[in-house]
Amino acid sequence: MTPRRQSRRAPVTSPAAATVFTTVLTQGPVSRVDVARRTGLSSAAVTKAARPLIEAGYLAELDSEQGGVGRPASPLEIRAEREFFLGIKITDRELVGVVTDLRAQVLLTRFHPLSSCKLDAVVDGVAAMVTELLAESKSYKQRTHCLGVTIAGDVDRESGHVRYSPFLHWRDVPLADLLAEKVDLEITVDNDVKAITVAERWFGNGIGADSFALVTLGTGIGCGLVVNGRVVTGSHGVAGEIGHIPVFGDGPLCHCGATGCVEAIASTDAIVDQARTTTGERDLTIDEVITGARMGDEALRRVFARAGVAIGRGLAAMANLVGPERIIVSGEGLDAYDLFAAEIRETFGTQAFGAAAHCELILRPLPFEEWARGAAAIAVQTLFLSATTPGAVWGQPSPTRR
């Protein structure tokens, strides 16, 4: 095996340093006084934690500004290009890769078709994409040390194992180990929706929310949860699986083995299957189903209406159990949102208990490169995990390290 480089980690050696860094990362520029006020740390603790990060070039002090009575403040800001990160999202058809800076701002995007879902082909494809992305800039090659890889399904982030991926038909695949044989970067493998939730928590609609849920509609239906400021992973690495909440007792069989799951009724593939059965047209595509429904085909409209009821019931069940401040609904399935929006909102309002019905629903598009950005976000997360209390700040287990 090719020797692996030592990761040049930022000097985050304590929970206080991790807290200061994440506060500046997600809320900066911000003064030390404000960092102390927002985190509960003392001013001396903030200064002590920030100093090595400034010396290492991860934080910068901006010009002093007088904020009223007292000494002028020198806000702290992230030096976004101090480190670069790679994120790659694996689908059953293609690889989507990005290079980002410390703020997970996408600097470069690449799409590579996959000729096969076989493990060797995917691993070779990821390695080739890493090489291509790093070759785009000398700075990328010199200042990139971490790679995030995401995939739909049940992933054990700590070991880097893909326990089950329904779309790739993988079971018990040691993906991180296999990639480490070909890629000279520190690798973290995680579920794709959990990764997007991390990105949303730091850089998106999750900023400022102590609890929220991110629900993705598309080929699969996923959900990431943040509770008390932490991404919920579940004791077995499974949490927030809204797609596998049973909502119709007489519903179709789901690939998970249960019946009547949200995903078996409202995923893209499920909608197409129901439309084909309803119309007898075996070659219908999702675009044709959407077009037909918008043109007034009542049979197709009923398919979308049923999907909306299933999604609304799933959202309500999650709101009743968790009580998030807001629910962000995203994914490629939003292309058809107008066809089931009324059913989602009506069902959610009816099924959500009491004040849970007032939970804010936010709709936002999800360009496909955003999935890869989520993978890059977990690479950023990996670099700055506290060495003394893994997971204390990020709400995630430690990554696989080699």
pLDDT in tens, 275-333: 999 999 999 999 999 999 999 999 999 999 999 999 999 999 999 999 999 999 998 88
Q: Which residues contact 199 (CB under 8 A, 6 or more apart)?
A: 104, 370, 373, 374, 376, 377
Helix (H) or strand (E) holding 268: helix 268-279
Burial of 109 (0-12, 13-18, 19+ CB in 10 A): middle
Give the whole-number percent of the chain exceeding pLDDT 70. 90
Helix (H) or strand (E) holding 221: none
Report the pLDDT value the prediction gives residue 234, as an integer from 0 to 100.
79
Q: Where in the chain is the domain with CATH 1.10.10.10?
A: 15-78
* Distance in angstroms (rounded) separating the CA atoms of residues 230 and 319: 17
Q: Which of 50, 51, 43, 56 is nearest to 8 (CA)?
A: 56
Report the mean per-residue pLDDT for the chain.
Answer: 87
* Distance in angstroms (rounded) separating the CA atoms of residues 244 and 110: 32
**String of DSSP letters for 99-164:** EE-TT--EEEEEEEE-S--SHHHHHHHHHHHHHHHHHT-HHHHHSEEEEEEEESSEEETTTTEEEE
Helix (H) or strand (E) holding 87: strand 84-90
* Distance in angstroms (rounded) separating the CA atoms of residues 50 and 61: 10
Fold of the 83-198+369-383 domain: Nucleotidyltransferase; domain 5 (3.30.420)
| Residues written for the chain | 402
Q: Which of 116, 123, 117, 114 is nearest to 96 (CA)?
A: 114
Mean of pLDDT values over 247-258 = 88
Higher pLDDT, 28 or 83: 83
- Under CATH, to which class is 208-363 assigned? alpha beta
Cα-to-chain-centroid distance, residue 382? 14
Token code pair at residue 44: 């001396």
What confidence tens digit (pLDDT) does each residue in 355-397 have? 888 898 888 878 888 999 999 999 998 876 644 344 434 433 3
Residue 69 pLDDT > 80, yes or no?
Answer: no
Report the pLDDT value the prediction gives residue 207, as an integer from 0 to 100.
82
Residue 1 pLDDT > 70, yes or no?
Answer: no
Q: Where in the chain is the domain with CATH 3.30.420.40?
A: 83-198+369-383, 208-363
Site of tokens 């496909």: 368
161 dihedral zone (left: phi>0; alpha: psi -120 to 50; beta):
beta
Residue 26 pLDDT > 50, yes or no?
Answer: yes
Residue 103 pLDDT > 50, yes or no?
Answer: yes
Architecture field, domain 15-78:
Orthogonal Bundle (1.10)
pTM value is 0.84
Specify the 3-state DSSP secondary structure of 390: coil
Please work out, in degrees rounded to the nearest 5, the angle formed at the alpha carbon of residue 120 by the alpha carbons of 119 and 123.
85
What confidence tens digit (pLDDT) does each residue in 158-172 have? 899 999 998 899 999
Specify the 3-state DSSP secondary structure of 362: strand
Cα-to-chain-centroid distance, residue 301? 31
Report the pLDDT value the prediction gives residue 331, as an integer from 0 to 100.
87
Report the pLDDT value the prediction gives residue 71, as an integer from 0 to 100.
54
Report the pLDDT value the prediction gives residue 4, as an integer from 0 to 100.
38
Contact predicate 302/336, CB 8 Å: no
